[in-house]
Structure 1
Amino acid sequence: MYSSRGPYMDVQEIDLINELNIYTGLDSFSEDALEKELAQCKGLGANVEKLRSLGFNALQLAEIRKGLESDKVDVNKYLDSSLSWTDMEEMRLEMVQGIDMSEYRAKGFDNQQLYQIRTGISDGVDVSVYAKKIYLADQMRELRRGLSPKDGVPIIFFQDPAFDSLQMREIRRGLQVGIDISTYAMLDIPHMKMRAARLSAQDGLVFTEAEIRKYTASILEQMHQAHLDNVNISSYVKRLFDAEQLEQIRLALKKELPIDNYMTADMRGEAIKEIRLGLEEGVDVGKYADVAYNWKQMHEMRLGLEHQIDITPYCKPLYQADQMRELRLGIEAGLDISKFSSMMYTAKDMYRIRNKILSGELQSTVSEDSLEGSVFDRTGGVSDQTILLSSMLENRDQYLYVSEDKMKCWIMLPVRRDGISYTEDAIMTFLFKTKIRSGIDRKSIKQALLNPEPKEKYLIAQGKEVIDGADGHFEYFFDYEKNNEVKVLEDGSIDFSDVENIQQVKVGDKLAVYHKATKGIDGFTVYGELVKAKNGKEVPILKGDGFMIMSDRVTYVAKYAGAISVEEGNVYIKKVMILPEVKITDKKIDYDGVVFIRGDVHAGSEIRATGDIIIGGHMESSDIESKCNVIIAGGATCPTKGSIVAGGDVTAKFFDGVTIKGHNISSNYFINCKIEAKGMLKTFGRQGVIYGGTAYSLEGIESAEIGNVSGARTTITLGANTALLAEYSNLQKQISREAENLKNLIIQRDKLQELGSGNPQIMQLKIKVNAAIAIKQQAIKNLADKKQKLDSDVEKGEKAMAVVTEQIFAGTIIIIEGLALKITEDRKTIDKIVFRTDPKKEKILVF
């Protein structure tokens, strides 16, 4: 998008522009978008071959198409591929609105400035106030909004062009909400400080001008957050703790953790964070809360304590954090870390040795004096025994047999023709010469010599099998596997019979006891080789909320009464409100925890909760909102109005006439509902059905039946819907606009560079433009990060499909990725019917 790089661009800016080309150069738009725009232009009478030959991209073609659709636009005025799509858009909108911008264009205003002037004229604003070259486009925008007839404010407070656009915005917003902006509306106060002061004042904490000037924006933000959290950090502010430190102190005080007992003023914020996290998890932070350690070292020691290992071997300040990590991983794996714990080893060396031990490549040999049944050379120069031994050694394979795993050794004693008898000393010496060193059974040798059978093998040595240590494990005193979930019966339908058995705990209830790992017992082979046993591994401490670890470091108890659940391996105790039923005469329920209603929720009720909402009975025409899951055993009926909104999953026996929003949504059947699922939409069992109403699912739908025999209109929409695609498209356009603005700013910056630095006014302009460039770069990065998150949803939508396992009825409409298919006749299946789009997204395929 930006090809003129100019002599003053640094490497970072070039990289940024290259990255922007990925987002805004329409690499991110598919070839399909280009062809669709060409097809639409052709339908409006355009010469498609000419458009194709001129090399327009999809966004440029979109502007040409919009121009062709309007009888007020002459597209020939901007039918130039060298114009950006934003240039085209500006020219098109000028013609649509009948606004002559030639005067301003002649004065050399850039595209973004023209946009602000034209928008102001359209809104009935006196643009002469800001239609000046001294203002950048973003400054114009703030002045235009300040002059707005609807939300206008006295712009005299931020009209000075020396203010950057973000300073202007903070002053304008402060005026709009009616706070006293005099404490921060000054040129030398950065916008971040202005923002912190404004937001704080809106929440009732007003900073003086002296405080705003004295403290950084980050410290002001921490003071504001402390005010909201109802904690006092003023003494720490006075002691000159920085913002990172204050954030960790604030979070610790909020949870009433004894952070003062362990931290010191010379610890960095990250170090205090490691202490805070350790206190939250209940580990002995005293073992690492020392300024001798940096935060990375503290991190490794905290992780070791959380994994319940003995961290003493690596609690030495001279170890680097990456060395500590290798030692920690070695201890967690039950290895003998003495082989690589020397400080002479780098972390890479430690990594290499640790992995050699893990793979068995590096082993130790047992010292001979530590083995049971060791043997030594006993020939003593006896002539007949020397002859016997020499013969046995020459034909050793006829005498000695060792198992493949080297753990057993047998001997055979063939008949000798020379009259020499086998003796115990000869056999012991033979074993010594053949390196059989351990596990020798002298009794077996003596027994074999009493009456040897020439073809019989005698087991005369055995190694010692290793005994691996047992891993640490938790013994739970609640049903760890149960998570207040509904059950699916054999026929596929949902069983809610157990929904009332929500797991509850009381204050002080024992939740779990940790049983520590045991050490392994080493073994050895008959050759005296050490077979290293594996020590049991400790497992991390329990994480979550609502419980604490007792002083024995193995017992976990509930801190307060509530509902206990396990989510992604973490244990949570949430306060629970239990009600027999909810009626319209009851006041609105707004609860920080789990709400459990044993009976019915009657029409007209309102329930909101931060935890799950579980209804043991039936819900009728009510509004329910949960930040977690919603489970309704008796089903939900909303003949007039009623809605369910959940941050998690929504499940009920049935839904009738309900508006439902959630992640995964499931039921036995849905009748005339309005459904919006950000995950999957499912029905259960061979009787599961969706008919009537509308159902949207980002990831797909599975149901036995869709529609019904009466032909009730049922619309199923899958994949990225219009709202998501519009958000995605607008985000891409927003990135493109910001990139265009950045390009103009860089051009202005380069021109100012050529003018030199002697003029104070020029210097001021340089500062302003450079600040605007930095702000714009950050804005583009933030938008790009947001786009990445949307990419994931769009990708999921591209794979969406509808699966019908029994029957789909005529009258059903299936829309996938904007493509529609109307079912004109009933269709049954003995297996399943699958609806999805073809790879080119041109039609819906049916399998």
Structure 2
Amino acid sequence: MVECIGGYFQFSVKADGLYFTVYPPKSGEQPATVADALYYLDKKKIMDCDTVKMKEAFSKAKEAPFTVKVSDAGALESREFGIYTMSSDLMEMEAVFYPPFEGAGMLDEDEIIKDIQHLGVKNGIKTDVVKDFLAHRRYGHRYVIAVGTAATEGSDGYIEYKFNTELKPTPKMNDDGTVDFHTLENVNHIRKGEVVAVLHPEDRGTPGEDLLGRKVMPKKVKHVIFRHGRDLTVSEDGLQLISSVSGHVTLENDKVFVSNVLEIVDVDNSTGDIDYQGNVNIKGNVLAGFSVKATGDIAVSGIVEGATIVAGGNITFNRGVQGMNRAVIKAGGNIVTKFLESVEQVEAGGSIETDSILHSKVNAKGSIKAAGKKGLIIGGEVRSMTLVEAKVIGNELGTATVIGVGVDPAAKRRLDELQKSLQTMGANKIQLNQIITALRKKQDLEGELSQDKKEMLQKTMKNMLIIDKELAEQKKEFEDLQSVVSEDSNARIKVYGTAYAGTKLVFGDQFMFIKEKYDHCQFIKERADIKSALL
């Protein structure tokens, strides 16, 4: 009798024939099966065996072993053996063990392992399973006796875009139930140096090894690379896509594009207000009530109605501005336009060139020239730091028209204020420096400052930073105003056609009303008087 915790059967050869014994399992274990016994007969080529009696033995061996003679003939005694089956992918081997004839030889660990190796297995033999079988011997049980090393599957590479790849401009619903068409998310803004996309490389996984020692490759994964247009750079590690310009970013067929020029057909309910880091080109019109702001240049091919246009650079209107008495136009540089009509406010850091200015308030640091085909300045107030040129100023109806050149008295007052402020802050800075120097000497001598002295030092240094920043800002403003004031002496108003009576001419803080018509002349300031002279 072998040591087995599961149910099993065993053949024995005696003088009068072949006997068959069925042993019941220990509590909780599985009984032996008729199918295993029949398989045993077939495997060991045992003939003339009474299978009916064998089946009866299984039914009677529920509580105690039951033995029955199954053949008058003997049989070749078989020792304990195992049947080994390898899976189709060669990654797993199962073993089913069968008992020996009574008194025949038993398997040991080395013999089992050699049998497995003889079948070609070079990898993954589970010696702990072999030991488990030898310790408990469950015949007919399927033991997973060898397992290959599975490949570690990888993952596809992918690109993480740091912007909205599916822009869908949607109007905002206000609390009062109205719809706001001005604030639409229709542009992915980007600043120079910002990361627009991050590449997550593919994980190719790790090869495994089957029972025969051959490599098992993981599934192929997707390899990705950045696809992009100009003005984008890839970081040194190849994992970040960085914009070289400020502007906007788009994704077209998995290719990233950035540009510092935003092109729009019309500015209306479909676009909302525009606020852009770069240049803006508008091929159509800008409707009343909307605004366009850009850090660079703005160009509009169509009409600008009662809108707000603000550019850090130049502004170009191919047609002009119909302001409806509410348009606001501001440029850090020059403004070029066909006409300005009923514009609430026009400001240029540079010059203004136009064909006509009608009933508008216009101000420029540079020259203002209405020298086109019409060359009109009628109504409103037009002021330049240096020069105003026009063919016609005012009209026969005496429409109130103000033309100003030179420095605004307010600018001169501001220059005086800045000069006094710079002197005061300079003195304050000297005092703060003295305090900081004294506290640091005390620290060097005593090794450490008291808590109140530490707080005083920190507060003084903070105040020093604030003053330095204010000094830099006010100094720049002072220098800009100084350069403007220095040009005041050359300021003039030129009229290539007619200046009509009723027009008010302003030179700095001096002014005069034209009382008669002047043709083809210029107006200049001589000391405290405003005079006309030939061109």
| Structure 1 or 2: more strand by fraction | 2
TMscore range, shorter length: 0.3 to 0.5
Which of these two proteins has the greater Rg computed from alpha carbons?
2
| Structure 1 or 2: more helix by fraction | 1
Give the TM-score normalised by the residue count of structure 2. Answer: 0.46
Give the TM-score normalised by the residue count of structure 1. Answer: 0.30
